[in-house]
Amino acid sequence: MDKIKGYIDHLIFRNSDNGYTVMVVNHEGEELTCVGTFPVITEGELIEATGHYTEHAVYGTQFQIQKLEIKDPEDTAAIERYLGSGVIKGIGIALAARIVRKFKEDTFRIMEEEPERLAEVKGISEKKAREISEQVSEKRDMRKAMIFLQQYGISNTLGAKIYKQYGARLYAVIQDNPYQMADDINGVGFQIADEIASKVGIHTDSDFRVRSGILHVLTRIALEGHVYLPKMELLARTVELLGVSQELVEKHIMDLAVERRLILKEQEGQICVYGINAYYTELNTAKMLHDLNISCKIDEKKISRRMDKLGKHSGYELDELQKEAVVTAAGHGLLVLTGGPGTGKTTTINAMIDYFDSEGLEVRLAAPTGRAAKRMQEATGCEAQTIHRMLEISGAADEEEGPKQFERNEENPLEADVIIVDEMSMVDIYLMHALLKAVTVGTRLILVGDRDQLPSVGPGSVLKDIIESECFPVVCLTHIFRQEGGSDIVLNAHKINKGEHIVMDNKSRDFFFLKREDANVIISVALTLIQKKLPSYVDADPYDIQVLTPMRKGLLGVERLNTIFQQYLNPPSPEKNEKDTGRCKLREGDKVMQTRNNYQMEWEVRGKYGIPVDKGCGVFNGDMGIIREINTYAEMVTVEFDECRFAEYSFKELEELELAYALTVHKAQGSEYPAVILPLLNGPRMLMNRNLLYTAVTRARSCVTIVGSPYAVNQMIDNKYEQIRYTSLRQRICEFVL
């Protein structure tokens, strides 16, 4: 091991998340580039480090630090250099020189023990002297805290949040009740708190642990789409998580309910347990829906005649149900328009836009995802946005704070007379709540979607619950227009939805079945389709052809398929940088998907020569893109998403990305692809069902190819099983009617 000693001249790069730093150290009178990971580091500090010299292919000789110790400055020159580096706000080079000239080697002791004496220096008032002293103490305390937190595996970014929240109290919090951090600080969940608690010796049946475990379970159920849990299921899950008695968990459920941190509600013969936020989100959503549901007097015949005239001018003809939808939208504040593929939902939306435009009303269009919004815009010729963008995400947003992350709300509502939202089956309860908060009473809200699609990735079954409440106007389109144009995708989708077996004789132009019974053969066929057959057939890039599968695990699961497809569609090359994330290997040129909502992620649209022409915040669960650059030196990955949006991820944020050559059907909701390939053999009954196959088939615009077993396809069609979602928006809506 080599050892160096010197002061930090300047920082070249620092990743604030993981502490990775590239800096120049003045060592024995020469500048030396040093790299390493440190909790807190500042220019001007004197360090003593051990490590070894390395030779970087691009940046030359570097010193790789393995152990670093911050030393107090040893002489007046070092003290002056440290203070003059800008580390203390308000002290520049000249003032640092005056302070050191006055107090010499005693400078730091004066700052900490007799800060009032700093006022003896010209240019420093008593107030400024106190501020300087506080900063010196703060920096020393923070370094001590970060080193303390690091032993528990807490990152620098999270450590800074903890220190900001508690200050010197953090030591007591961690020793007495680390679970408090899960309540107070975003980013410290139950698992982190529990690991810390085990290290400090807190008992497994601690009251703090049981309460935090209950709340953790009720938070995690959102990932399964639930809004609440039946009490008996909550008890079982919490007992399994904590390894404590059911009686102890039940006692704390009741205590939390008394404290109004949980809501217990009896419905349909059982006690249901809600987190406080989830319960009131559903309740307020129901109330706002009722508030919007106002009607006005209209001349239906006059509107129908006008629609005939507008239709002739625009080139469409409406059937009776489509006319009914336009008339209902004109006369009501809230309308649900539903129907399967090819039933004319888009034509009806266009007719509504034409009618409201003719009335001089402002119409805004939105959809849950960027791809869905793009499709809506292409189909209507009018601007369409994601719901998130329409609601104007705040860059300082926080995913766990629900609707607070949006600039548009009840105090700053959307300015529109009519709002039409497509792909409503994808909208979860929290996004719906945020949308309704921004819609004023008197604005017409039209919700469009297919109730038979898979439910939203997030919690709730909003569209289904609204329809089943039977409290609002609903128009269900049934006539299949696209079938008349010869689309077997539409025909087979409706057959699947009705539980009818489909014809797999390959006489179709857009729906094919290739019988294969071996998983590896199926993968080989899929690769041939992507690379050679389908791109020219549907006039698309191979990356636009999407493989969809029911499962994540298994021989035909997403994880295995992506590893294999990456090897063939984007093979390794000396010219492509890579990064192993632990879950998968990412490579420049890879097709990737964002796996969680990140409201703070900044993006920019780049024009000619890479010059930014637009920017914003927010990359969302389901957004797909291509990795354009992996910068191993700066530890950053650049991804280009739809609409030329470029976002930069630190290496620590790569857990939000996964390969997307193959997707689960659930992740493909709201998207449409030129061609879809479905590899189907066997799998869990809960996944291999009719609802999933129907959703998968309807993701294709021009071509569906099923590769696999006809038995598996027919089994899916016969299997009506749908996973239970614990939601109660329907009940909350009906309560307002009674």
Q: Which of 138-152, 173-187, 389-403, 662-676 has the highest mean pLDDT?
A: 662-676
Confidence check: pLDDT of 401 > 70 = no
What pLDDT does 550 receive? Answer: 94
What pLDDT does 342 receive? Answer: 86
Among 390-404, 549-563, 709-723, the range scoring the smallest mean pLDDT is: 390-404
* Average of per-residue pLDDT across 184-193: 82
* Rounded Cα–Cα distance for residues 189 and 205 (Å): 18
What pLDDT does 668 receive? Answer: 87
Match 């003045």 to its residue by tokens: 26
Residue 61: how many CB atoms within 10 A of its CB? Answer: 10
Element (H, E) at 78: helix 76-83
What is the helix, strand, coil percentage profile of the chain, to 5?
45, 25, 30
Of the chain, the percentage scoring pLDDT greater than 90 comes to: 52
As beta bridge partners, residue 384 has: 365
Mean residue pLDDT across the chain: 88
Q: How confident is the model at residue 398 (pLDDT cuts 50, 70, 90)?
A: very low
What pLDDT does 485 receive? Answer: 54
Query: Where would I find the beta strands (DSSP E) of 327-482?
Result: 334-339, 363-367, 384-386, 418-421, 444-449, 474-477
What pLDDT does 316 receive? Answer: 82
Query: Where would I find the beta strands (DSSP E) of 588-724?
Result: 591-594, 598-606, 612-619, 624-631, 636-641, 645-650, 657-659, 662-664, 673-680, 700-708
What pLDDT does 266 receive? Answer: 93
Q: What are the pLDDT digits (tens) for 516-536? A: 999 999 999 999 999 999 999
* Rounded Cα–Cα distance for residues 438 and 411 (Å): 8
Closest residue by Cα to residue 590 from 667, 677, 658, 668: 658
Closest residue by Cα to residue 277 from 291, 254, 260, 252: 260
Q: Interior CA angle at 372 toward 366 and 374, to 5°?
A: 80
* Residue 23 DSSP class: E
What pLDDT does 397 receive? Answer: 42
Q: What are the pLDDT digits (tens) for 296-327? A: 888 888 888 888 888 888 888 888 999 999 99
Q: What are the pLDDT digits (tens) for 196-219? A: 888 888 898 999 999 999 999 999
Confidence check: pLDDT of 427 > 90 = yes
Q: How confident is the model at residue 157 (pLDDT cuts 50, 70, 90)?
A: low
Confidence check: pLDDT of 164 > 90 = no
Residues flagged as binding site: 342-346
Prediction pTM value:
0.78
Contacts of 252-258 with C-beta under 8 Å, sequence gap 24+, read 252/207, 252/210, 252/211, 252/214, 253/214, 255/211, 256/211, 256/214, 256/215
Q: How confident is the model at residue 156 (pLDDT cuts 50, 70, 90)?
A: low
* Average of per-residue pLDDT across 346-370: 93
Confidence check: pLDDT of 403 > 50 = no
Q: What are the pLDDT digits (tens) for 104-114? A: 888 878 887 88
* Average of per-residue pLDDT across 498-502: 94
Q: What are the pLDDT digits (tens) for 615-670? A: 888 888 788 999 999 998 888 999 999 878 999 998 888 989 999 999 999 888 87
| Cβ(510)–Cβ(361) below 8 Å | no
Task: Provide the CA 458 distance to its chain's centre, in angstroms.
Answer: 10
What pLDDT does 474 receive? Answer: 96
What pLDDT does 395 receive? Answer: 54
Beta strand pairing status for 700-708 and 624-631? unpaired
Contacts of 484-492 with C-beta under 8 Å, sequence gap 24+, read 487/342, 489/341, 489/697, 489/698, 489/700, 489/703, 489/704, 490/341, 490/342, 492/697, 492/704
* Average of per-residue pLDDT across 135-144: 77
Q: How confident is the model at residue 400 (pLDDT cuts 50, 70, 90)?
A: very low
* Rounded Cα–Cα distance for residues 325 and 307 (Å): 11
Closest residue by Cα to residue 448 from 375, 498, 399: 375
Q: How confident is the model at residue 554 (pLDDT cuts 50, 70, 90)?
A: very high
Radius of gyration over alpha carbons of the chain, in Å? 30
Confidence check: pLDDT of 402 > 70 = no
Confidence check: pLDDT of 343 > 80 = yes
Residues flagged as binding site for ATP: 342-346
Q: Which residues contact 309 (CB under 8 A, 6 or more apart)?
A: none
**Bigger pLDDT: 257 vs 129:** 257
What pLDDT does 260 receive? Answer: 94
CA distances, 465 to each of 200, 336, 470, 668 (Å): 46, 11, 9, 22
